[in-house]
Amino acid sequence: MFLSLLVLVFMALKCLKPTVTLQPSWTQIYSGETVTWTYEWRAAKLNTPPTSNEHRIIRATESDSGGYSCRGRRDYFFSEWSDIITLTVSSSNRPVVTLYPNWSEIYRGETITVRCEIHGGDTEWDYEWETNSRIKAPNQNEYRIRSASSSNSGNYRCKGRMKSSQHKTTEWSDSVTLTVSDNKPRPVLTVSPSWLSPGASVTLNCEVEHPSAGWSFYWYKAVPDLSEKSSSYELLPDGSGTAQDSYIIHGQTHTAGYVCRAGRGDPEYHTDHSQPEFVWSADVHSAASLTVSPDRVQHFTSDSVSLTCEGNFTEWRVRKFSEDGRLYSDCRRMTGSTCNINTSKSDTAVYWCESGSGEFSSAVNITVQNDGNGPILVSPVHPVTEGASVSLSCSLRTQKILSNVFFYHNDKLIQNDTRGELKISAVSKSDEGFYKCQYSGRESAQSWMSVKGDSSFSLLMIFRLILGFVFVFLPFLLFRCSKGENFFLFLYFKHKVH
């Protein structure tokens, strides 16, 4: 608008010039005859020249740039061509508002800059902001918010005002919305698998609500801190500020807890720590273990069950991770290293012990019966060793069932006869899985029976492997290795055989 107005005024003024030269007192003499003058215009773009004394360019574009001149005509009489005026139309100088960084969601406390950018030209501008946020932006091209809050939320638009000519302004920019969320994001950690199996790696995944938005990740392991009723966190190796939202742990053999958090920006803003997540080991050979009495996975409601922490430590706490994903640290009745429970449905959970010096025990599943009058499956709490014998049975609150029990393995009926027990004389890996029993139309819950490899068997395998290795490669090693390397080989050998 500003530009087309410019042309209009300027042209009208210029076009007077020829008449002025022609007839110095033109305005007075010919005033009534103005209508009889027609005008011609010269400009590269005008293929049908206008004949009015006013040439209006409605929406100036760059292609309207160029020289313009005009002359007047009255009957057969022409005025001179006016001087040429040069019109320059530059591309739009409408400002653009940018957020830096341009994350779609900003959290309380983050640092963000709102910028007003006017492209092209070397004009100097003053800046004006218009915003419906509670905190207003100062009239500068850059508004740096050092610690954002929801009061900064709102739509922002800006315009420029020429320093040299204060009444000349750009148009308003489009408005940009800044949303500052007052809650602190808490990332969600997932650990997979939940139960350790020998040799498998553990993968941690950390997820913040908007994963695309510039986060880096911090990975911690939980270290039990009994005095705090919580845990402290220790950074994992190379676990500081990874670009990846996952972290892989190799060779984990014990129950462990992990935590993650995320950070971004400069200065760096940190999210809260995630809830701790655990990977459990069923292996009772670890430094600490948990035993259950009575020694079975399933229990009736209102049963007295005791969980005992075993290991060379004086102080313990029993932890419980319930079916609905909640973590508990307090055993209501803890005497020494034993936690006594009067069971209810909500006690169905994974249990483990944590020692005062930061050890995690092996973990167990406990299932409290659903159906008050139904049977429970009596199955081992701890993994059964390959080759050992095991016997599963079915029990009512009042008595052990001695006959006519159906047993299911992974929902498949495997025993339907008059016997009351399922006996497996030499357990193999294929016996692992979910078991349940059924008695006179009522079914127990199902429970996992875990089978672990015979450790003496696998040690023998390792022994053989090493022996094979030594026999094949020893000649080379003897030739090529320094004393130091041979020594290393023997150390390894000895360790594995033990």
Question: What's the min distance (Å) between Cβ of 258 and ligand NAG?
Answer: 18
Give backbone dihedrals phi and psi of 484, rounded to 5 degrees, phi first: -55, -45
Question: What's the min distance (Å) between Cβ of 435 and ligand NAG?
Answer: 11
Q: Please give the distance of CA 272 from its chain centroid, rounded to a whole number.
A: 12
Question: What's the min distance (Å) between Cβ of 214 and ligand NAG?
Answer: 9
Scan for tokens 């292996």, then name that residue: 283
The binding track of 385-424 with respect to ligand NAG, each residue x by CB under 6 A or -, is ----------------------------x--x--------
Report the alpha-carbon angle 175-180-182, nearest 5.
Answer: 155
β 298-299/334-335 pair status: unpaired
| 8 Å CB contact between 311 and 287 | yes
Does 91 help bind ligand NAG (rule: CB under 6 A)?
no
Taking CB under 6 A as the criterion, the residue among 88, 302, 403, 486 binding ligand NAG is 302
Question: What's the min distance (Å) between Cβ of 367 and ligand NAG?
Answer: 9
β 412-416/406-409 pair status: antiparallel
The binding track of 179-218 with respect to ligand NAG, each residue x by CB under 6 A or -, is ----------------x-----------------------
Q: Which CB atom, from 104 or from 389, has the smaller least distance to ligand NAG? A: 104
Taking CB under 6 A as the criterion, the residue among 448, 477, 489, 493 binding ligand NAG is 448
Signed CA dihedral, 413, 416, 422, 423: sign only: negative
Does 102 help bind ligand NAG (rule: CB under 6 A)?
yes
The torsion angle over the Cα atoms of residues 331, 336, 338 and 344, rounded to 10 degrees, is: -30
Does 90 help bind ligand NAG (rule: CB under 6 A)?
no
Question: What's the min distance (Å) between Cβ of 442 and ligand NAG?
Answer: 13
- HEC secondary structure over 6-59: HHHHHHHHHHHHHHHHHCCCHHHHCHHHHHHCEEEEECCCCCCCCCCCCCCCCC
Question: What's the min distance (Å) between Cβ of 54 and ligand NAG?
Answer: 45
Does 312 help bind ligand NAG (rule: CB under 6 A)?
yes
Q: Which CB atom, from 11 or from 364, has the smaller least distance to ligand NAG? A: 364
What is the rounded CA–CA span in Å between residue 111 and residue 114? Answer: 10
Q: What is the SS3 assignment for 159?
A: strand
Q: Which CB atom, from 104 or from 151, has the smaller least distance to ligand NAG? A: 104
Q: List the interface residues with ligand NAG, window 125-184 (CB under 6 A).
A: none
Q: List, in order, residues 6 or more apart from 122 with CB less than 8 Å away.
A: none
Does 364 help bind ligand NAG (rule: CB under 6 A)?
yes
Q: List the interface residues with ligand NAG, window 280-299 (CB under 6 A).
A: 282
| 8 Å CB contact between 447 and 436 | yes
Does 342 help bind ligand NAG (rule: CB under 6 A)?
yes
Q: What is the SS3 assignment for 301?
A: coil
Helix axes 455-480, 483-497, angle to 10 degrees: 170
Does 346 help bind ligand NAG (rule: CB under 6 A)?
no
Does 328 help bind ligand NAG (rule: CB under 6 A)?
no
Taking CB under 6 A as the criterion, the residue among 23, 104, 192, 440 binding ligand NAG is 104
Count residues near ligand NAG (CB under 6 A).
14
What is the rounded CA–CA span in Å between residue 184 and residue 68? Answer: 62
Question: What's the min distance (Å) between Cβ of 209 and ligand NAG?
Answer: 14
β 106-107/180-181 pair status: parallel
Does 450 help bind ligand NAG (rule: CB under 6 A)?
yes
Q: Which CB atom, from 118 or from 178, has the smaller least distance to ligand NAG? A: 178
Task: Using CB under 6 A, list all residues that contact ligand NAG.
Answer: 102, 104, 195, 282, 302, 304, 312, 342, 364-365, 413, 416, 448, 450
